[in-house]
Structure formats: C-alpha cells, structure tokens
Amino acid sequence: MPLRAGSAIRRAMQALSALVALLLLAWLLSGVDARALAGTARRMPAATWALALAGVLATYGLRAARLHAEWRARTGARFVDCLALFAWHNAAVSLLPLRTGEAGYAWWLHRHWQVPLVQSLPSLMWLRLQDAAVLGTMVLALLVSPALALAAVAALALLAAVVLRSGWVGPVGDVAEPDGAPWLKRLLQGLYGGRGGWRSWTLCAANWGVKLGVSALLLHAAGLHPAALGWCGAAGAEAGAALPLQAPAGLGVFEAGALAGVHACAAGAAPVDAATVIGAALLVHALWLLASVGAALVVLAARRGLAAPAQALS
C-alpha cells in the first residue's frame, strides 16, 4: 500500500506539473504570432543554423568526454559508450517531468557497466553540483556584465593552469599534498581530484560556455538586439532549465527564464518586446529538444543495429 500511495503521489505531481507548464506556456505564447515566428526562422541565415548545430554537437562531445574522464578507468568505457550514455540521459531529463529522467543515468550504468546504485548516485550528484557551480558562476556574471563573464571564464582557465603547473594535480587528477597545508589538499582533492579531476572541470566549463553561446547566437539572430541581450536571455533560460521542478520537455520554464534574463539586463534601458523574446526562446528550445530526441534515436538505432548481427551469430 505505501508503494502504491507513493506512485499515485508521483503521478499526481507529474500531472500537476504538466498542467501548470501548459498554462504557463499558453500565457507566454498568448502574444506570439506563430506565422511571424515561422517567418523569422526561415529568414535566419543557413550559416547561423549550421553554426548552432555544430555548437550542439560540440556540447555533446564535451559532455561525453567529461563522462569518459570519470568512467574510463573504472569500467573501461569507450568514448562512444559515454556519448551514448549522455544522449540517453539527456533525452530522458529533457522530456520527463520533475527531472525524473535523472534515473536514466543510474539505469544505464547498471545495465551496461554493472555499476551499483551506491556508486552511480554519488556520481550523478557530483555532476549536478559541478554543473551548478559552473553554470551559476557564468549566469551571475552574464546578468551583471558580459565582460565580467568573459573575465570569470579566463580566471577559471588561469586558475586551472596555475594548479597544473604547481604540481598539486597529477596527470589523472590525483592531488599531491602541499607542504604544511593539509586543508589545501582536502580542498583541491574535492575540486580537482577523482571523478575526472581537472579534466572534468575544464570540460564542464567548456560545455556551458558553448551551450550559452549557441543559445545567445540564435536569440540574437531571432531578433534580440543588441547581442548582449542574447547572452542574458541564454543565461536566464539555462537557469530556468536547471530548476529541479521541471515540466515535461521543460515547457514554459525555459521561455520564462529567457524573458527574466533579458529583463534583468535591460533594466533602465529601452523596453523589450516580450513576444519577441518568448518567440526567440521557443526557437532555441525547439532546437535543443530536437537535438536531444534525435541523438537518443540515433543511439537506439545504432545499438539495435549492432545487436542484430550478434544475435544472428549466436
């Protein structure tokens, strides 16, 4: 009975979140002209869409490399396996409500690499904490000043270079103890040691930098001027998408976050047309969703294609 009650509560919460999201999306889109938005998408240069797609693929590669840095030594995982893991996990998180798709990470690790839950859950928590630290720093910097954001990224890169040259971090992320500073060892071990070490931090920062850049590029091309507003809209949208209470496919929250980010940067300046921001954010959101679903379908088809010859030989 308790299990059934828990399942019923989860379903009720998912249904409620879906309803709230649809109402929010309907309210946000009430002032958006669908025909004008389609015309905007058609008028955007093909080179812009191609550059955005290249950026999406780059983020997938960076995410897969981040997983590879953590799991290669433990499971012998290949890069292509980590790419499949990310594509599956990303699609599940993108489409399922209340971030229930996070369970796909533990499911994949157990099914394909026999990793127990006591190891996969800490890994997932670390990935999300690392994302929160990096994305949070970038979002806060962008909402204050794009120049400050670039300075923050440069400072992170400089810090990584100093730490590496100091010898505190070894080639695989192991941390040597600095003389007379055990607390520093513990700090560095937590920041750089284990779970991919410094590679994981570098790949995480690169991923979020590229992802924000792709969203900013498309928002600017879809009508957000000046270009700085595109970065602010991207920061707000990604901050909204990172919230734990998510509707199916992140409907409404992504667009509302973009609008909030633009308003935060445009305070005191010329008024921003909300319909333009929401319409542009909807185009960007559609690209990320199509990419996540497409990548998951490619992974599924590839794994089935590889399984068929193996069954025929057995």
> Taking 70 as the threshold, does the pLDDT of residue 149 lie above it?
no
> Taking 50 as the threshold, does the pLDDT of residue 49 lie above it?
yes
Mean pLDDT over residues 173-182, rounded? Answer: 49
> Taking 80 as the threshold, does the pLDDT of residue 277 lie above it?
yes
Based on its alpha-carbon atoms, the radius of gyration of the chain, rounded to whole angstroms, reads: 21
Mean pLDDT over residues 69-82, rounded? Answer: 90
Rounded Cα gap, residues 163 and 184, in angstroms: 12
Task: Tell me what pLDDT residue 283 has.
Answer: 92
> Taking 60 as the threshold, does the pLDDT of residue 199 lie above it?
yes
**pLDDT class of 17 with cuts at 50, 70, 90:** low
> Taking 80 as the threshold, does the pLDDT of residue 298 lie above it?
yes
Task: Tell me what pLDDT residue 159 has.
Answer: 62
Rounded Cα gap, residues 269 and 259, in angstroms: 15
To which residue do tokens 């990584």 refer? 160
What pLDDT digit, counting tens, does each position of 204-214 carry?
999 999 999 99
Both tokens of 205, joined, read: 């920062």
Q: Is the dihedral of CA 153, 157, 163, 169 positive or negative?
A: positive
- Residue-averaged pLDDT of the chain: 79
Both tokens of 253, joined, read: 């929250």
> Taking 80 as the threshold, does the pLDDT of residue 255 lie above it?
yes
Rounded Cα gap, residues 146 and 138, in angstroms: 9
Q: Measure Cα distances from 293 to 92, 201, 288 in Å.
A: 9, 26, 9
Q: Is the dihedral of CA 134, 233, 289, 223 positive or negative?
A: negative
74-78, 116-120, 197-201 — which is least confidently predicted?
A: 197-201
What pLDDT digit, counting tens, does each position of 112-138 carry?
999 999 889 888 988 998 898 889 888
Q: Measure Cα distances from 185 to 70, 182, 260 in Å.
A: 20, 5, 40
